[in-house]
């Protein structure tokens, strides 16, 4: 970069200053564009709310068409294009961002709009989504959910976009007021045509039209100024303004009365809605209490069943140990009888009596019979063991009484 000095004036040659000026100019233009769109969106929401007090909002309403165009421009502001296989960047609609970022909304309409037969283009699907979200009174929820997914928003939009700036939170708050309006749309009309871009009409927000019901018109103000400035004002010139002023006051009172009646109707509707919501809340609280009580009862029942099962297990283990000890004693008795011969048969009978007494003592367990009715196999097992022990004890006595061993 070179500099020339001409009579105390220095002229810089180079692109340093121009590049910084260009950057600041671009930043200023982007900020003005964002501010204009957000301001116009706020005005359009207000006009929609005012119009809804007197008529139903549908596709033929110019206020809605302007609002839809403004919202489409906001969601399409600095939207990245889609890069193709050959490296070219094709334009993209805001619907591509909405259908990805709004999947987390409960009971969303994304799949329904994707499956619509008469809507094919991406831009038309985005316009259908705006109408369905307004009819469902969930447009603000959709926008808030999409803006919270910052990673997806960053992937679809460039730096300086409205959805990436501070204006995004203002947008979600503005759209919340539309939940009070009952919209009625036809999803097969010309408004869903995606071949033409949406154009915003700024004239309703730039032009001020004074209605006939206004308290004072421009002509009356001019007459007032003229009458106050001129000393030769006659009563004939003053009369007509007073008559017009009286009529204007009458019309104004009539308009206020209509608004008051409409406000009373809305107040009654909101009170009824609040009463229904309170009843639903009370029912849900009572159902919650019943469910908690059922959970506590089931926990207590499970705890008791667990304790009973643990007691049964301990009792079964004790009986198993006693059965094992009985089997060992019977085996020892049989071995001793076979080894010692007939002389010790009486001792064997005594031990067998002891075993029988032990088995009889362990025969019935009231806790097992009361808690487990299916443990009858245990008694059969005991009877089998007693039969085995009696068979083993009966063999030596038969040998003693056999005729071959009796003394002659």
CATH number of 138's domain: 1.20.58.900
Band of pLDDT at residue 135, cut at 50, 70 and 90: very high
Nearest CA to 64 out of 167, 162, 134, 125 is that of 134
120 and 262 belong to one structural domain: no
Contacts of 16 (CB under 8 A, 6+ apart): 1
* 42-70 pLDDT tens trace: 999 999 998 888 888 988 899 999 999 99
Copy the structure tokens of residue 63.
């206020």
Contacts of 33 (CB under 8 A, 6+ apart): 77
- Inside any domain, residue 179: yes
Copy the structure tokens of residue 139.
């447009």
Give residue 252's pLDDT. Answer: 79
Task: Measure the CA–CA gap between 170 and 233, rounded to whole angstroms.
Answer: 54
- Inside any domain, residue 281: yes
Task: Record the pTM.
Answer: 0.50
- Inside any domain, residue 291: yes
137 and 78 belong to one structural domain: yes
Domain hosting 145: range is: 28-205
- Inside any domain, residue 241: no
* 202-257 pLDDT tens trace: 888 876 555 554 444 555 544 554 544 444 444 444 333 334 456 677 777 888 88
Give residue 366's pLDDT. Answer: 47
197 and 270 belong to one structural domain: no
Final residue in a domain of this structure, among 141, 170, 205? 205
Task: Measure the CA–CA gap between 309 and 305, rounded to whole angstroms.
Answer: 6
Question: Higher pLDDT residue, 10 or 305?
Answer: 305
* Average pLDDT value for the chain: 75
- Inside any domain, residue 74: yes
Residues of the chain with pLDDT > 70: what percent?
66
Total domains in the fold of the chain:
2
41 and 152 belong to one structural domain: yes
268 and 151 belong to one structural domain: no
141 and 280 belong to one structural domain: no
Burial of 32 from C-beta contacts in 10 A (0-12 / 13-18 / 19+): exposed
Final residue in a domain of this structure, among 205, 240, 264? 205
Residue 17 has pLDDT above 70, yes or no: no
169 and 262 belong to one structural domain: no
* DSSP for residue 214: S
190 and 276 belong to one structural domain: no
- Inside any domain, residue 110: yes
Alpha-carbon distances, residue 145 vs 101, 102, 115, 148, 175 (angstroms): 7, 6, 22, 5, 13
Q: How many CA atoms lie within 13 A of 308 on its CB side?
A: 12
Give residue 214's pLDDT. Answer: 47
**If DSSP codes are grouped into helix, strand and coil, which group holds residue 34?**
helix
Task: Measure the CA–CA gap between 134 and 103, rounded to whole angstroms.
Answer: 17
Task: Measure the CA–CA gap between 1 and 19, rounded to whole angstroms.
Answer: 13
Nearest CA to 185 out of 113, 98, 263 is that of 113
Give residue 16's pLDDT. Answer: 53
Give residue 96's pLDDT. Answer: 93
Band of pLDDT at residue 389, cut at 50, 70 and 90: very low
Question: Average pLDDT for residues 143-147, to the nearest whole number?
Answer: 93
Containing 11, the helix (H) or strand (E) segment is strand 9-13
* 184-210 pLDDT tens trace: 898 876 667 767 888 898 888 876 555
- Inside any domain, residue 304: yes
- Inside any domain, residue 75: yes
Nearest CA to 133 out of 183, 201, 206 is that of 183
104 and 187 belong to one structural domain: yes
38 and 148 belong to one structural domain: yes
Burial of 41 from C-beta contacts in 10 A (0-12 / 13-18 / 19+): buried
194 and 289 belong to one structural domain: no
Final residue in a domain of this structure, among 332, 351, 386? 332
* 269-287 pLDDT tens trace: 889 889 989 999 999 999 9
Nearest CA to 131 out of 176, 73, 178 is that of 178
Give residue 371's pLDDT. Answer: 46
Residue given tokens 């094919």 in the structure block: 120
Residue 9 has phi, psi (to 5 degrees) of -105, 130
168 and 55 belong to one structural domain: yes
Contacts of 52 (CB under 8 A, 6+ apart): 180, 181, 182
Give residue 395's pLDDT. Answer: 43
Residue 88 has pLDDT above 90, yes or no: no
Nearest CA to 389 out of 319, 336, 315 is that of 336
């Amino acid at each position: 970069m070179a500099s020339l000095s001409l009579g105390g004036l220095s002229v810089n040659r180079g692109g340093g200053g121009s590049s910084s000026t260009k950057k600041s100019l671009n930043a200023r233009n982007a900020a003005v564009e964002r501010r204009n769109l957000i301001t116009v969106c706020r005005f359009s929401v207000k006009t929609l709310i005012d119009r809804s007090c007197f008529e139903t909002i549908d596709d033929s309403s110019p206020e809605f068409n302007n609002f839809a165009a403004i919202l489409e421009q906001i969601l399409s502001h600095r939207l990245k294009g889609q890069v193709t296989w050959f490296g070219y960047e094709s334009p993209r609609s805001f619907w591509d961002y909405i259908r990805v970022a709004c999947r987390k909304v409960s009971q969303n309409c994304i799949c329904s709009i994707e499956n619509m037969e008469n809507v094919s283009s991406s831009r038309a699907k985005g316009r259908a989504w705006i109408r369905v979200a307004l009819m469902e009174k969930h447009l603000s929820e959709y926008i808030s959910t999409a803006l919270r997914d910052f990673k997806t928003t960053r992937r679809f939009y460039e730096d300086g976009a409205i959805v990436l700036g501070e204006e995004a939170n203002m947008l979600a708050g503005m759209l919340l007021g539309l939940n009070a309006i009952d919209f009625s749309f036809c999803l097969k009309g010309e408004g869903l045509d995606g071949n033409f871009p949406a154009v915003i009409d700024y004239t309703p927000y730039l032009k001020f039209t004074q209605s006939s019901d206004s308290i004072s018109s421009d002509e009356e103000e001019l007459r007032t100024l003229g009458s106050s400035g001129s000393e030769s004002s006659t009563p004939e010139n003053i009369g007509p303004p007073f008559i017009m002023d009286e009529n204007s006051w009458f019309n104004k009172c009539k308009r206020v009365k209509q608004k008051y009646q409409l406000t009373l109707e809305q107040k009654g509707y909101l009170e009824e809605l609040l009463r229904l919501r309170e009843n639903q809340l009370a029912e849900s609280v009572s159902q919650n209490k019943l469910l908690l009580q059922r959970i506590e009862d089931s926990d207590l029942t499970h705890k008791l069943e667990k304790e009973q099962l643990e007691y049964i297990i301990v009792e079964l283990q004790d009986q198993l140990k006693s059965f094992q000890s009985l089997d060992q004693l019977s085996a020892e008795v049989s071995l001793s009888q076979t080894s010692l011969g007939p002389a010790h048969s009486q001792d064997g009978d005594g031990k067998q009596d002891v075993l029988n007494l032990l088995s009889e003592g362990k025969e019935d367990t009231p806790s097992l019979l009361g808690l487990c009715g299916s443990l009858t196999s245990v008694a059969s097992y005991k009877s089998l063991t007693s039969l085995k022990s009696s068979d083993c004890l009966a063999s030596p006595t038969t040998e003693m009484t056999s005729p071959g061993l009796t003394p002659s």
